Amino acid sequence: MFVITQSCCSDAACVSVCPVNCIHPTPEERGFGSSDILHIDPEACIDCGACADACPVDAIYPADKLGTRDKVFIDINADFYKNNPDVKSGWAPVDEESGSTVNYPDVPKLPAGLRVALVGTGPSGGYALRTLLDRTEAQVTVIDKLPTPGGLVRAGVAPDHPGTKGVLRGFDLLYRDPRVTMMTNVTVGDGPGEITPAELAEHFDAVFYAVGASESRRLGIPGEDLPGSTSATDLVAWYNGVPGVDAGPPLRRGTTDDPATGRAVVVGTGNVALDVARILVSPPDLLATTDIADRALDILREQNVHEVVLLGRRDQASAAYTAAEYRALSEIPGVDVEVIDGLDDEVPSFAEPADPARRRIVFLFHSSPEEITGDPQVASITVRTGEGRHHIATDLVVRSIGYRSTPIPGVMFDDQRGVFGNVDGRLVDETGGIVPGGYVLGWAKRGPSGGIGANKMCATSTVEDFIDDVAAGRLKRTEREPGAFGALVRKRVRTVIGYRGMRAIDRQERRRGLEQGRPRVKFTQMAEMVGAAGWRRT
C-alpha cells in the first residue's frame, strides 16, 4: 500500500497514472484545490508504484517505508475514505452520454507563428507554460525579475519543506524546449531599465501575467512601523535568500538591564504564519541541514528564539492553516505546541521573558492586536481577548494576515481585492472592457487562496480561454519582427540571463551546498548571481 504524505502539492500527476482510480479528490471532484493533500484508498491500492514515480514532489511512499513522523499519514489517507464513503460511488461528475469522468478538450486549429510572453516562473507560470507547449505551437518568451526561476516555490516555500520544491524539476524540462526563450533578471514596469506592459503587448500576440501575491496586508494599529515589526513576506524572503533583502528582521537584542525576551509574536494563523513560527523556533542545528540562507541561520543562532505566540482573531476551527501544516509543528524536535482559547481558557502572563529551558509554540485564539510599543524598537504588543487586554513582551512582531499582488503600472489593478482587474482571467481596462491578448492567472487573478494544485487548474483554464480567443479571432496579432523584442531587452536591460545562465547559478549553489552537506547554499546578492551566470559587470 502506498501513502501520500504532507509534502503533497495536489498537482494530480499521480491521479492520471493510477490504473485503479484510487487517488482522490481528482481535479473533476469537489474538494480538489481546497483539500490540503490527495489521498490513496488503502483498500483499492494495488501497490504498482506508478503514483510515486509520477509525483513531482516525492510525497508518495510505501506504508512500510515511512519514517516515524510520516506514519500518521497512513491513518489520514484511510480516514479520508471512511469520512467520504461517496467517493467510491460516483463522487466525480459523470458525462451522461459517454458515462466517462474524463472530458477531452476540443483542439481548434490555430494560426501559425503565435508569439506569447509569460511573466512569472512560479507554479502558475510553469503550468501555463506546460499547457501552452502541449496545446499550441506558440513560441513562448518567459520573463522573471529575478535571475533564478521558481517564484514562491524558491522564495516562499519554507526551507524545511524541500519536497515541495521538487515541482520545479518538471518546469526545468519545459525551459529547455526549443520553442521557449528564457529572459530572467528582467523587470516589467515603468522604471529605468524595465520593460513596460505596453511594449510587451506591442511585441507579442498575448501576454500572461503570473506574478503571484507578494505584498502583505497591514494591521493598521499604532506602532506597526517600529523597528522589529515586519511582514511575513519580508521575513520569508530574508530566510529564503531572496536578493535585496539583506538586513533581516531587527530582532531586539536586549541589554543587561533590559534583556531580550526570546519570544516572537506572529499575527495570523495561516500556513505562512505557521511556516514562520516553525522556522523561528526550530533548533538552529536542524535548520543548518536545509537551504535556509546563511544570513538567516547566523542571526537565528545568535538570537535563539525559543517561544513563538501566534494570534488568531477567531476560534481554532476558523484558523486558516491546513491540517498537514498544523501536524508538522508537533514533529519539531524539542518543541511543544499549546493552544489557548482567549474566550474559554485562562490566558497566562506573557509579560516576562520566555522560559529559556523550553521551546514552544503557543496559539492564542480570540485575540486581536491593538498596539505595538517600544522605544526605540518593538518591546511588546497589546492584545485584547475575551478576558481583557494583555501585554506580551516580545523581540519581534510579524504580521501574516493576508497577501495582495504588487501593482504593475500600465496594467489595471483592483486595489480593493488586491488582484489585477480581470474577468475570468482576461485582463480589463479602466472602463471594464476586455484587453485583447491580456491574461492573468494564479493568485494575481483570484487572490491568495489555494495551493499548487489550484494554481495548476487556474493556469490550464486561462490558457484554454486564450486558445478560444485565438480560434475566434479575438486577438490582435503583433506586427513586430520576431527578433525585435530580444533586441529591445538587450538594449534596455544590462544583464539578461537565459537558460544557460540559470543552470550555471543552480550548479554553483548546489556545489556550495554539497560542501556543507546541504541541498544548496543560495546566493543572496544580485552581483553574485549575475557573476555565477557567467556575466561580468564592466
Top-confidence residue, 456 or 408: 408
Nine-digit cell string for 111: 494560426
Burial, 63: exposed, middle or buried (Cβ in 10 Å; 0-12, 13-18, 19+)?
A: middle
Instruction: Give, as one character, the DSSP assignment of residue 32.
Output: T
306-332 tens-digit pLDDT: 999 999 999 999 998 887 788 878 878
Whether pLDDT at 537 is above 50: no
Tell which wins on pLDDT, 516 or 86: 516
- The mean per-residue pLDDT over the stretch 365-382 comes to 94
pLDDT value at position 496? Answer: 95
Q: What pLDDT, on the 0 to 100 scale, is given for residue 322?
A: 82
Per-residue pLDDT reduced to its tens digit, 163-205: 777 777 788 889 999 999 999 999 999 999 999 999 999 999 9
In three-state secondary structure terms, 95 is: coil
Q: From its phi and psi, is residue 175 left (phi > 0), alpha (psi between -120 and 50) or beta?
A: alpha
Asked, as a colleague might, if the bond just before 348 is cis with ω within 30 of 0, I would say no
Long-range contacts of 322-326 (CB under 8 A, 24+ apart): 322/36, 322/271, 323/36, 323/76, 324/6, 324/8, 324/36, 324/37, 325/6, 325/36, 325/271, 325/274, 325/275, 326/274
Domain 2-89 CATH assignment equals 3.30.70.20: yes
SS3 208: strand
Q: Where are the beta strands (DSSP E) in 210-358?
A: 215-216, 229-231, 263-267, 307-311, 335-341
The distance between the two most distant Cα atoms of the chain, rounded to a whole number of Å, is: 78
DSSP assignments along 221-247, one per residue? -TTTTSTTEEEHHHHHHHHTT-TT--S
The domain limits of the chain are 2-89, 115-214+405-496, 229-399
Give mean pLDDT, residues 330-337.
Answer: 87
What was the pLDDT predicted at 156? 80
Q: How confident is the model at residue 402 (pLDDT cuts 50, 70, 90)?
A: confident
Please report the DSSP string for 165-182 in residue order: GGHHHHHHHHHTSTTEEE
pLDDT, average across residues 38-61 = 89
Residue with cell 525559543: 306
pLDDT of residue 90: 52
Higher pLDDT, 423 or 8: 423
Q: Is the dihedral of CA 211, 214, 220, 224 positive or negative?
A: negative
Lowest mean pLDDT among 128-132, 249-253, 512-516: 249-253
Phi, psi of 427 (to 5 degrees): -65, 150
pLDDT band at 254 (very low <50, low <70, confident <90, very high): low
Question: What's the confidence (pLDDT) of residue 97?
Answer: 45
Paired residues of 403 in beta bridges: 216
What separation in angstroms does the CA of 257 have from each of 253, 254, 260, 381? 12, 8, 10, 20
Q: Output the pLDDT for position 32.
A: 78
- Bridge partners of 391, per DSSP, are 382
Dig out the grid coordinates for 495 from the structure: 544583464
Beta-sheet pairing, 380-385 with 388-393: antiparallel
280-283 own/partner pairs: CB under 8 Å, 24+ apart: 280/305, 280/308, 280/396, 281/305, 281/306, 281/307, 281/308, 281/332, 281/335, 281/359, 281/360, 281/361, 282/160, 282/332, 282/335, 283/332, 283/333, 283/334, 283/359
User: How crowded is the C-beta side of 293, counted as CA atoms within 13 Å?
Assistant: 24
Least confident stretch, 98-102, 228-232, 236-240: 98-102
Distances (CA, A) of 486 to 321, 494, 511: 43, 13, 31
CB of 501 closer than 8 Å to CB of 147: yes
Taking the C-alpha atoms of 380, 377, 292 and 445 in order, what is their torsion angle to the nearest 10 degrees?
80
pLDDT in tens, 265-297: 999 999 899 999 999 999 888 899 999 998 888
Q: Which residues contact 117 (CB under 8 A, 6 or more apart)?
A: 140, 141, 143, 200, 203, 204, 206, 207, 208, 485
The mean pLDDT of 455-484, rounded to a whole number, is: 94
pLDDT over 90 for what percent of the chain? 60
Task: Tell me, rounded to whole angstroms, the distance of Cα 142 from its chain centroid.
Answer: 19
pLDDT for 35 equals 73
Helix (H) or strand (E) holding 388: strand 388-393
Q: Share the mean pLDDT of the chain.
A: 88
C-alpha distances (whole Å) from 520 to each of 128, 176, 244, 292, 515 are 27, 22, 19, 9, 9
Distance CA 330, CA 104 (A): 43
Residue 538's pLDDT band, with cuts at 50, 70 and 90, is very low
- Mean pLDDT, rounded, for 118-144: 95
What is the pLDDT averaged over residues 481-487? 95
Full-model pTM: 0.85
Is the pLDDT confidence value at 395 over 50?
yes
CATH 1.20.1250.20 fits 115-214+405-496, yes or no: no
SS3 content of the chain, % helix, strand, coil (to 5): 30, 20, 50
What whole-number distance in Å separates Cα of residue 233 and Cα of residue 443?
15
Q: Residue 237 pLDDT more than 80?
A: yes
The confidence score (pLDDT) of residue 424 equals 93
Question: Which of 123, 240, 108, 210 minimizes the C-alpha distance to 174?
Answer: 123
Distances (CA, A) of 415 to 100, 430, 440: 42, 12, 15
Question: What pLDDT is recorded for position 107?
Answer: 63
The DSSP output letter for 1 is -
pLDDT grade for 98, boundaries at 50, 70 and 90: very low
Distance CA 427, CA 120 (A): 16
- CATH dotted code for 229-399: 3.50.50.60
Give the span between the Cα atoms of 22 and 251, in whole angstroms.
49
